[in-house]
Chain A
Amino acid sequence: MCGISGIISSADVSGKLVESLRNLEYRGYDSCGIALLNGAGATVRKNIGYVADVAEKELFTDVKGRVGIAHTRWATHGKVTSGNAHPHLCCGGKTAVVHNGIITNYRKLKSDLIRKKHSFKSETDSEVVAHLIEENLKGGGSLEAAFIKALRMLEGSFAVAMISPGEPEKIFCGRNESPLILGLGENENYIGSDFNAFVEYTRNAVVLEDGEYAVVSREGYEIRRIGDLEPIERDILRIEWDVETARKGGYPHYMLKEIHEQPSTIGQVLEIPEEHIREMAEKMLSARNLFLMGVGTTYYSAMMGQYYFSSIAGIPAYALSSDEAPESASIGRNDLVLAVSQSGETYDTLRALKTAVKNGARTAAIVNVIGSSMARMAESVIMQGSGPEICVVSTKAATSQMLTLMRLALEVGALNGAIKPARKKALIEKLNGLPSVISDFLNEYSGFARSLAQRHAGHDSWLYLGRGVYYPVALESALKVKEVAYQHAEGMPAGFLKHGTIALIDDKIRSMVFFPPQAEKELFKTTVSAVEEIKARGGKVVAFHSSKSLANSGLLDDQLLLPKAHPFIAPIVSIVAAQLYAYFTATALGRNVDKPRALAKSVTVA
């Protein structure tokens, strides 16, 4: 997802464009740029990084102009380089273009243009638009005609905006399947991917529909159909909501939005090409020791990975908390360190990764933000492709990391013969079914998670317990309620309890227990006995489980009865259930869900 913005005014617009980019940053932020018309050409400034940093480094506001366009990029595929950032210029340096979407026929268009002596500076599909317009102008005719002709040649999805000194008092824009909206101000007009692009300047907007283009001037605008140039009359929309509401897509909080995005972010992980997974798996197999490293939630993702590597791949993969990694593990030559990080900038993980490099270890990373330090530093990288995660508390990024590790464990297991091809195929099918399992779960169980949370929100001292892979599930779930609901929750292996902590049990401290499916007989049985130990000491037990007979046994004080799921994917269902539980606990307690106290999205300090 990318963000487009444009402003035409009677005064300099560079400052407003930067502000507009900042408001669009939530759509993606690996690189950004602006183009302004002044004099004979369009001046372009662009680079990789956050809007605020790039704007400062590239002196965006030193460029002056009354007409400008801007772009913020979140690459899901392809490199993050300054050259690939928008805006793009034509060969003559006059026409500047920004684009959001995917032009499916760009290869053909590009080779045609190259044959006509156009030279390309980027690897993007977007740059063809600038050259197409330049090419179309060669036969004479107006800029508008050249623009329309170019749009008609594009296949796929696009929202495009263009400025050129040939028509210095106009912004041209058009769309097909990617959003584009006009904003109407006083003697100043705007375009944007969504209302956030200009919501600080005007609340009057006009929506462009698929297959339409608009010519925007300071005084007004004209919308026509790209196909037959039929003029379009459209009502002006009055925006009656605040910026945050629009950004959250109507969800009350980013956290809930991101929880609900998981069916598709998990789908993204399943679409990572198998070769890519195999390449990483081969490296893992050839390593002397394999370390999975993260901190906070990513440490728990790594720990889930440890259990899957053990049970599926039959090899040890040690999960390390990266803040302790340099001291707790002697990482050396021929070891492989796989770092897990949403931002790719986490200080502790970065430091551990650097130490590993220094010691001669090989490095790999699972990262969400393209172009981040870890993405650049690690020898091999898997991009999890979860899209921007805005809520400080990680949800969709975490499940995607777990899924990536599960795919890696399967691949390693298949390569070293720990699992047979038929079993691998069967488990991959389970993984492929996960998006719809999660989607059904979110739809059909949200109410139960909320009721459970409301019944227990008042209790602020908890033990979170699980055995096997449900131990990291318990740790991660405890972290969620700590982060967002400020409840004290201590995650612990259920078997560990009796070696000390059980002395805490009374009727005030509550235990949240995560059960495996009943099909995992041994694990299930030992989890039941942990619950019995707590009950025998007068403790109260709430459980996440999927066993009807357990539900009717009278052993539990309260529960969330989960849908039945295959043991391979059931831990992920529990994680998502615990995310909802933490969310509804936080809302019941009136917490600041998206920005919990004392927490920052990406911890880049020691």
Chain B
Amino acid sequence: MKALILAAGGGNNMAPFSVSRPKPMLHIAGRPILDYTLEMLRESGFTDVNIVRGPFGDSIHKHYGTGAKTGLNINYIHQKKAEGIGHAVLLAKKSFNPGDHFLLIYSDIVTDDNILSNVLQTFHFSHLPTAGIVLPEETGSFGNVYLDRDMRITKIVEKPKRKDLGNYVLAGAFVLPYSFFDLLRKAGGDMMRAFAALIKKEGMKASIWEQGWIDIGYPWDILTANRVIMDTWKYSMVHRDINVKDAKIKGPVHIEEGVEIRSGAIIEGPSFIGRGSYIGNNVLVRKYSSIGPESIVGFGVELKNCVIFGKASVGRLSYIGDSVIGMNVGIGSGTMTINQNIDKSEIAVRFNGRKVKTGMDKLGAFIGDGTVLGGGHSIRAGSVIGAGLTVPHHHTYPPKGR
């Protein structure tokens, strides 16, 4: 069986991070999301993988090439404009053979174990087209499925408006027959209509996934996914060539080549420190911190539950908590991310002029690639700071007007 990964989605709600990279190249726990997808495929015995990439997809191609390092043969299909999932699937038709089944997986889902092996088991056992399903916290933005007693899907309701539903939803992993391409074409590229036709024609079996599952739709989902992946770590992995003096390291940590950790620093696992990074004196790295390669973390900084993509510098005596920091970001010393509302209420984030509830009562900031922030800032909970900005130092003296 061949696989098809949909990696062309721009991620409308992923600002400020979608401007410069496709979603599957977002880093969690030190690796691009796509790494985890490819690893599941290899584990499940796949050799041939087709990736539909979008306008920003160059970086995927550059990173993975023909797949030699992943042990897979990767073929790329270019979706030039953002024309939707259905269109992306149709573009891939010629890479598959009539009569075959293929595995379809969305590249923006993260799971804590191999969901593909679950879906494949159900497929092999039932011999029916199969869809992985999950019970998420909130179902409004997904395809809600209805099941019969044999776990066959009887209908799918996409993004229900009518009322609140607590249904199982499509998890973004399927085994589909080649004939699905024709159904999809007849449905004008509408995935939901094509699924409905498939249910009618061949039937469709659901495969329940009860373990961790995150759909990366908003920037804060990066933090959840980071946590879910790090929770699967059982061991520490520390490269032999690192330079550590009088620092405390506890719990599972992944520390790469050339990392320098100065005395007095405390690293609490699970945490990740990427190649060539520098962790200054008395730095406190708390649980679920992922510090990308070649980053500099200055004296006395506290990091907690945050993802720093890489090549960042965090100035002395700063606090970065529950935050995502892009590539090449400079944060001036004494910067404080405030990570909760004063009344401890749920934090909302402003997106394209609308407020989106996050379901979280602790959330820091999201800072886009290449932004340089002067020293001494306090950043309100749930702030989004765009990419490529330069924000001057925050002065308290002399006061304005003097």
**A interface residue numbers (CB < 8 A to B):** 195, 207, 237-241, 245-246, 249-252, 256, 260-261, 263-264, 439, 442-451, 587
Contact = CB atoms under 8 A, between A and B. Distances in A.
B167 A444 contact: yes
B151 A249 contact: yes
B121 A263 contact: no
Contacts of A237: 124, 127
Interface string B220-255: 000000000000000000000000000000000000
Contact of B125 (A195, A443, A445, A587): A195
A245 B121 contact: yes
A443 B124 contact: no
B167 A446 contact: yes
B136 A447 contact: yes
Given A245-B121, A446-B166, A451-B166, 4 more contacts: A240-B120, A261-B149, A444-B166, A446-B135
B44 to A, nearest CB: 9
Contacts of A238: 124
B210 A587 contact: yes
Contacts of A249: 125, 150-151
B125 A260 contact: no
A207 B124 contact: no
A213 B387 CA distance: 66
B343 interface: no
A250 B205 contact: yes
Given A250-B122, A251-B151, A447 B208 contact: no
B126 A250 contact: yes
Contacts of B135: 446-447, 450
Interface in B108-151: 120-122, 124-127, 135-137, 139, 145-151
Contacts of B150: 249
A263 B147 CA distance: 11
Contacts of B146: 443
Contact of A447 (B148, B149, B166): B166
B208 A443 contact: no
A569 B206 CA distance: 29
Contacts of B340: none
B149 A264 contact: yes
Interface in B134-187: 135-137, 139, 145-151, 165-168
Given A250-B208, A252-B208, A264-B149, A444 B165 contact: yes
Chain A CB within 10 A, most for which of B125, B139, B149, B207: B149
Contacts of B166: 444-451
Q: Which 4 A-B pairs have the closest CB atoms?
A: A447-B166, A448-B166, A241-B121, A250-B122
Nearest to A194: B125
Contacts of B168: 443, 446-447
22 contacts: A207-B127, A238-B124, A239-B124, A240-B120, A240-B121, A249-B125, A249-B150, A250-B125, A251-B208, A252-B208, A252-B210, A260-B151, A261-B149, A264-B149, A443-B145, A443-B147, A443-B168, A446-B166, A446-B168, A447-B137, A447-B165, A450-B135
Contacts of B125: 195, 239, 241, 245-246, 249-250
Contact of A260 (B127, B147, B167): B147
A89 B139 CA distance: 56
A260 B135 CA distance: 15
B210 A241 contact: no
A245 B168 CA distance: 20
A328 to B, nearest CB: 39
A447 B126 contact: no
Nearest to A452: B166
Given A246-B125, A444-B166, A451 B137 contact: yes
A257 to B, nearest CB: 8
Contacts of B120: 240
Contact of B151 (A241, A250, A263, A450): A250
A43 B206 CA distance: 43
Nearest to A209: B127
Interface in B250-270: none
Interface string B180-211: 00000000000000000000000001111010
Nearest to B210: A252
Nearest to B44: A240
A300 to B, nearest CB: 24
Contacts of B126: 250
A577 B18 CA distance: 41
Contact of A263 (B137, B149, B207, B210): B149
A548 B121 CA distance: 42
A249 B145 CA distance: 18
Contacts of B122: 250
Chain B CB within 10 A, most for which of A238, A250, A263, A264: A250
A252 B136 CA distance: 16
Contacts of B210: 252, 587
A399 to B, nearest CB: 13
A443 B167 contact: yes
B93 to A, nearest CB: 22
A77 to B, nearest CB: 20
A261 B124 CA distance: 22
A498 B401 CA distance: 68
A446 B207 CA distance: 15
B208 A256 contact: yes
A447 B151 contact: no
A239 B149 CA distance: 23
Nearest to A245: B121
A236 B305 CA distance: 49
Nearest to A265: B149
A352 B149 CA distance: 36
A519 B18 CA distance: 52
A207 B137 CA distance: 39
Given A446-B168, A447-B166, A260 B136 contact: no
Nearest to A444: B165
A242 to B, nearest CB: 9
B37 to A, nearest CB: 19
A117 B283 CA distance: 95
Contacts of B121: 240-241, 245, 250
Interface in B342-397: none
Contacts of B151: 249-251, 260
Contacts of B167: 443-444, 446-447
A207 B147 CA distance: 24
Contacts of B165: 444, 447
A238 B124 CA distance: 8
A450 B210 CA distance: 10
Chain B CB within 10 A, most for which of A237, A443, A446, A450: A443
Interface in B72-106: none
Chain A CB within 10 A, most for which of B125, B151, B165, B168: B125
A260 B124 contact: no
Contacts of A451: 137, 166
A241 B124 contact: yes
Given A446-B135, A587-B210, A240 B124 contact: yes
Nearest to B122: A250
Interface in B299-358: none
A238 B139 CA distance: 35
Contacts of A443: 145-147, 167-168
Nearest to B127: A207
A455 B124 CA distance: 35
A444 B146 CA distance: 8
Nearest to A237: B124
A445 B120 CA distance: 27
Contacts of A439: 148
Contacts of A260: 147, 149, 151
Nearest to A253: B210
A238 B206 CA distance: 20
Contacts of A444: 165-167
B273 to A, nearest CB: 30
Contacts of B139: 447
A568 to B, nearest CB: 24
Nearest to B160: A444
